[in-house]
A and B are shown apart, each in its own frame.
Chain A
């Protein structure tokens, strides 16, 4: 197994865990953490892809630049999402969104 394959599969695993958490979890903070897992997977994949061995031994700097701005944008998006979650909790008394058609879900 090459280094790239190992990192890339780890990245896909992180993304998959995040995707599952986003669908299966109801608590908004858990969902925000899940989206950050997915973002972590994408950043890891970009980093791994950039470091694939090249004929001239150069590492592609473009994905690195995307990852560094991506991380900062992800932090700011997370801050906005957490503020929204806090506002929703303050307004409705529950850190979960009301789900239509969910049996026995009283927001508890």
Chain B
């Protein structure tokens, strides 16, 4: 079942050696450090938001965040690509269909799902001035969607549906588009004029939340596991 005892012993020794080394390095770190906090707070009035974490994500280091939303899309492409040829463009969710949890799960999901939507919406709204934001809100909404799928209260969209694909890429497209918007002037890619930063960031975050939620929920639903409907692109 597992590796033979000798190999496991070696693995344990190797892991402990490595862990010990990392622990030693970590303990050498200065106990007090400002890191980039001073810089981040100094630029905050020009970032368009008053939550420094959102400022880092969607302003100072937005290039990084843009690429990370691209990683989500690539992961979804990877998951969808692992289906059988005849299922390409079909509906995902084999795992949910296999699960027969009885009546408890749907009853629980009916209670918890509205709360999930409320919490997700609040996190998105709070992101500009308090802990929260697109990634947090998207994750909560995706978890809610996953519960709806597992409780069989909702069916996932067909992976060939143009609508579903549009929702999944909308966040990346909006983010990228906002980055291009002011490049005609003296500004660089993803550099926003301070006066317009807030509306831009809130718009990007809203679209991003929906896309992240849809992408994560479809990742959980898995690869298409049934052939697509013969005509049209219905759900």
User: Could you say which residues of chain B place their CB within 8 Å of the CB of A86?
Assistant: 222
User: Could you say which residues of chain A place their CB within 8 Å of the CB of B220?
Assistant: 79
User: Could you say which residues of chain B place their CB within 8 Å of the CB of A103?
Assistant: 4
Tell whether B22 is near chain A: CB-to-CB under 8 Å.
Answer: yes
Tell whether B121 is near chain A: CB-to-CB under 8 Å.
Answer: no
Within 8 A of B (CB), among A6-21: 8-9, 11-13, 15-17, 19-20
- Docked complex Cα distance between A17 and B16 (Å): 9
**Which residue on chain A has the smallest CB distance to residue B24?**
A12
Give the B interface residue count (CB, 8 A): 58
Within 8 A of B (CB), among A43-69: 45, 49-50, 52-56, 58-65, 68-69
A93 shortest CB reach to chain B, Å: 16
Given A4-B31, A23-B11, A69-B64, CB of A16 within 8 Å of CB of B19: yes
Give the A interface residue count (CB, 8 A): 51
**Which residue on chain A has the smallest CB distance to residue B57?**
A65
Within 8 A of A (CB), among B1-28: 1-4, 7-8, 11-12, 14-16, 18-19, 22-23, 26-27
- Docked complex Cα distance between A19 and B8 (Å): 12
Docked-complex contact B55 and A61, CB < 8 angstroms? yes
**Which residue on chain A has the smallest CB distance to residue B32?**
A53
User: Could you say which residues of chain B place their CB within 8 Å of the CB of A84?
Assistant: 82
1/0 contact string of B191-235 vs chain A (CB within 8 Å): 000000000000000000000100110011011000000000000
Tell whether A75 is near chain B: CB-to-CB under 8 Å.
Answer: yes
**Which residue on chain A has the smallest CB distance to residue B95?**
A86
Given A73-B71, A80-B79, CB of A56 within 8 Å of CB of B37: yes
A19 shortest CB reach to chain B, Å: 4
Tell whether A24 is near chain B: CB-to-CB under 8 Å.
Answer: yes
Docked-complex contact A19 and B79, CB < 8 angstroms? no
- Docked complex Cα distance between A24 and B202 (Å): 46
A30 shortest CB reach to chain B, Å: 9
Given A13-B19, A76-B75, CB of A69 within 8 Å of CB of B53: no
- Docked complex Cα distance between A81 and B2 (Å): 20
Docked-complex contact B79 and A56, CB < 8 angstroms? no
Docked-complex contact B40 and A60, CB < 8 angstroms? yes
User: Could you say which residues of chain B place their CB within 8 Å of the CB of A23?
Assistant: 3, 7, 11, 14-15
Q: Which of A16, A49, A102 contacts B18 (CB 8 A)?
A: A16
| A residues apposed to B, CB below 8 Å | 2, 4-5, 8-9, 11-13, 15-17, 19-20, 23-27, 45, 49-50, 52-56, 58-65, 68-69, 71-73, 75-77, 79-80, 83-84, 86-87, 102-103, 108
| B residues apposed to A, CB below 8 Å | 1-4, 7-8, 11-12, 14-16, 18-19, 22-23, 26-27, 29-38, 40-41, 52-53, 55-57, 60-61, 64-65, 68, 71-72, 75-76, 78-79, 82, 133, 135-136, 138-139, 212, 215-216, 219-220, 222-223
Chain A to chain B contacts (Cβ below 8 Å), 26 pairs: A2-B31, A4-B31, A5-B27, A9-B27, A19-B18, A19-B19, A26-B1, A26-B2, A27-B1, A50-B35, A52-B29, A52-B30, A52-B35, A54-B32, A54-B37, A58-B38, A58-B41, A60-B33, A61-B40, A63-B35, A65-B57, A68-B53, A71-B135, A75-B139, A76-B76, A79-B222
